[in-house]
Structure 1
C-alpha cells in the first residue's frame, strides 16, 4: 500500500505541474461533444454522463474514503481529494464552455453568464487563485462549486435525458438551490429558533432570483444555424428564395413576410419555441413552433405574418425564444416608406 500511495501522490504532483493539460482535455471533450452530438449521439451522451459521474464521486467522497481505509488500512491522501475536486471543476466548466459560447446572444445579458463560465474555468486552472483565494473561503468555494455544477447540468440534462430547455433549467436550478443549503446554513450562525426558517426563506429567495435571472442564461444546447426574412418561400424545399434586410411598406402589405430559422438541437429533443415579432421594440405578434433535434444544419421552421400595422415603417425584429422566454437568436430587418 505505501508503494501505491507514493505512486498516486507522484501522479498528483505531476498533473498539478501541468494544469493546462487537464483544461485542454476538458475543453477538447466539450468541443468533441458539441460537434459530434448529431451524427454520433452516443459520444456526447457518454461524455456528459462521465462529467456527472465525477460529481457523484465528490458527493460520495467520505463514504468512499472510509471504504478505502477499511479495505486497505489507509485513507486516500488529502492532496488527492483536493485535486479530484479541482479536476472535476476544470472538466465540468471547460466541457460546458463551447456550448454556451455557441448559443449566447452576445448583444444581450446572456454574454455576462458565458463570460462568468469562462472566468470560472480559468480560475480552476490557476492554482494560486484556486487554492489561496477561493478554497480558503468556504462560502465562496461552495458557491463556486454550485455554479460549476449548475453550468454542467444545463448542458448535460438535455443531452442525457432529452429534456426541453425550460425543464432542464428548472431541474438544474432546483439541484443548485439544494446544494446551496450548506453555504447558507454556514453563513447564518445566530443561535435563534428562527434560524432554520431564515435559511429556508433565503433558499426560496435564491430559487426565485435564479428563475428571474434565466433570461441571462443561454439555452446551452439550442442555437440558430441559419436565418432569413423573405417574401417568397419554397415550402417543398423548406428554404427561403431570397433573404432580405430591407423591404418597402407596399411590398410588405402585398406579399406578407416569412421569418425563417434553422435551429440546432440535440437528437431526440423536442422543443417548443416562439417567433416574437417586434416593431420599434414593441411586440405585435407571437407565434409558437415545435422544433425537433437531430439535423446537423438545424431544424428548419418558419412563420408567416400577413397583418401589419397601418404604418409599418421602421425597425423590426423577430426574436426566437424558448418556452421560458430565453433568447435563442434574433432576426432584424428594416421597412422603408
Structure 2
C-alpha cells in the first residue's frame, strides 16, 4: 500500500513539474484508443467507461483534491487540475474524432461539424491558443467543454448500451448540458452570479439549435462500408450483381433497381435506417431497412425499388440515413433518355 501511495505521489509531483507531458499523453492515448477499438471492438467498452468516469471526476474536482491531500499528504495544485481538465478534453476529442472522420461525407453540411471538431482538437493541444485565448473567455470555454463532452457521449452510448443513433443524439445533448452545469463552478471560480444562469440558457439554446441541425451531425457509431446499385442481387451469396452508375429510362422502368448496402455498427446494436431516393435533389421515396451490428464487413441488406416517375431522366441519388435524418452515406446515378 505504501508503495502505491509513493507511486501516486511521485506521479502527481512529476505532472505538476512537467505539465506539457499531459498534452502529449492525451494526444497519444486518444489516437491509441481509437486504434485499439478498431482492432478489438470489446475494448471500446473499457475506453467508453474510462472517458465517462473522467468527466464525472471533473465534476467532483474540489472534493477529490481534498481527499488526495488527506490520503497522500500532497496538495494538488489548481494548475495541475487545469492541465488535467485539458487532458480529458483532448482525450475525448482525439478519441471521438477518428470515428467522425470515417463517416463524414465531405460534400454534405456534416463536414462543417467534423471541421469544428478538428479545430477544437487542434486548439486543445496548442497551449497559447488554449490558455491565452480560449480559457480566458469563460463563456466560450464552457461551450468548448460542453462540446467535448457531447461528442464523446455520442460515440460511447451506442458502444456501451446499444442505444440507437437517434436516441444517443438526444441523450448526448441532454447529458452534456446536465454534466456541464455542476462543473461550471470549477470552470469559472469567483465569477459573478448572473453568469451561471446566462450560461445555462446559452447551452440550452445551442443544444436546441444542434437538434434542429441534427442531419449535420455524422452518425459516429455507424459506417457505410459499401453501397451498390444493380438490377439483380445474388440471394445465396448476399452480393449485388453489377454496379450501375448510369442507365437508360427503359431499363429503369422495366427492371427497377436494387440498393445493396453494408453498414457497420457496434455489436448488439439494432438500428432502423432508410434508403432515401432523391430525383433532381427532391425526395421521391423512403424505404425502411433494419440492420444489426457486429459484423466486421458490415450488415449486408438491400431494398428493391420499381416505382419510378414517368419522366425519370436526370440525376438521381440514394442516401442512407438514420431515423433522425443523419446521413450515413450515399451514391449517385444518372438516367438517360
Q: TM-score, normalised by structure 1?
A: 0.89
Structure 1, unaligned runs of 5 or more: none
Query: Displacement, 1:3?
Result: 10
Alignment of 1:228-307 (within 5 A): 228-307=228-307
Structure 2, unaligned runs of 5 or more: none
- The SS at the match of 1:41 is coil
Residue of structure 2 in register with 1:68 after alignment: 68
Does structure 1 residue 84 correspond to structure 2 residue 84?
Answer: yes
- Is the alpha carbon distance of 1:117 and 1:140 closer, same or farther for their aligned partners in structure 2, counting shifts above 3 Å? same
**Kept after mapping to 2: 8 A contact 1:93/1:151:** yes
Query: Displacement, 1:138?
Result: 1.6
**Kept after mapping to 2: 8 A contact 1:177/1:206:** no
- Is the alpha carbon distance of 1:7 and 1:18 closer, same or farther for their aligned partners in structure 2, counting shifts above 3 Å? closer
Alignment of 1:1-337 (within 5 A): 8-14=12-18, 16-17=20-21, 19-33=23-37, 35-36=38-39, 40-179=40-179, 181=181, 182=184, 189=194, 204-337=204-337
**Kept after mapping to 1: 8 A contact 2:19/2:83:** no
Query: Displacement, 1:21?
Result: 4.4
Partners of 1:2 and 1:296 in 2: CA distance = 44
**Kept after mapping to 2: 8 A contact 1:31/1:98:** no
- Is the alpha carbon distance of 1:187 and 1:172 closer, same or farther for their aligned partners in structure 2, counting shifts above 3 Å? farther
- When the two structures are aligned, how many residues end up with a matched partner? 327
Partners of 1:226 and 1:173 in 2: CA distance = 30
- The SS at the match of 2:18 is helix
Query: Displacement, 1:188?
Result: 8.0
Query: Displacement, 1:189?
Result: 2.8
Partners of 1:63 and 1:21 in 2: CA distance = 25
- Is the alpha carbon distance of 1:20 and 1:7 closer, same or farther for their aligned partners in structure 2, counting shifts above 3 Å? closer
- The SS at the match of 2:205 is helix
Partners of 1:112 and 1:131 in 2: CA distance = 25
**Kept after mapping to 2: 8 A contact 1:110/1:218:** yes
Query: Displacement, 1:7?
Result: 5.6
Describe the superposition over 1:28-59 as per-residue Cα deviations: whole angstroms up to 9, x where unpaired.
Answer: 212321x22xxx33211111111112112111
**Kept after mapping to 1: 8 A contact 2:293/2:299:** yes
Partners of 1:242 and 1:165 in 2: CA distance = 31
Partners of 2:323 and 2:192 in 1: CA distance = 36
- The SS at the match of 2:167 is helix
- Is the alpha carbon distance of 1:336 and 1:188 closer, same or farther for their aligned partners in structure 2, counting shifts above 3 Å? farther
Partners of 2:72 and 2:24 in 1: CA distance = 33
- The SS at the match of 2:171 is helix
**Kept after mapping to 2: 8 A contact 1:31/1:95:** no
Deviating more after overlay: 152-161 vs 71-80: 71-80
**Kept after mapping to 1: 8 A contact 2:314/2:334:** yes
Partners of 2:117 and 2:166 in 1: CA distance = 20
Query: Displacement, 1:13?
Result: 3.3
Q: TM-score, normalised by structure 2?
A: 0.89
Describe the superposition over 1:182-220 as per-residue Cα deviations: whole angstroms up to 9, x where unpaired.
Answer: 59x978839xxxx96x87765653332121021111000
**Kept after mapping to 2: 8 A contact 1:256/1:305:** yes
RMSD over aligned Cα, in angstroms? Answer: 2.5
- Is the alpha carbon distance of 1:77 and 1:4 closer, same or farther for their aligned partners in structure 2, counting shifts above 3 Å? farther
**Kept after mapping to 1: 8 A contact 2:16/2:77:** no
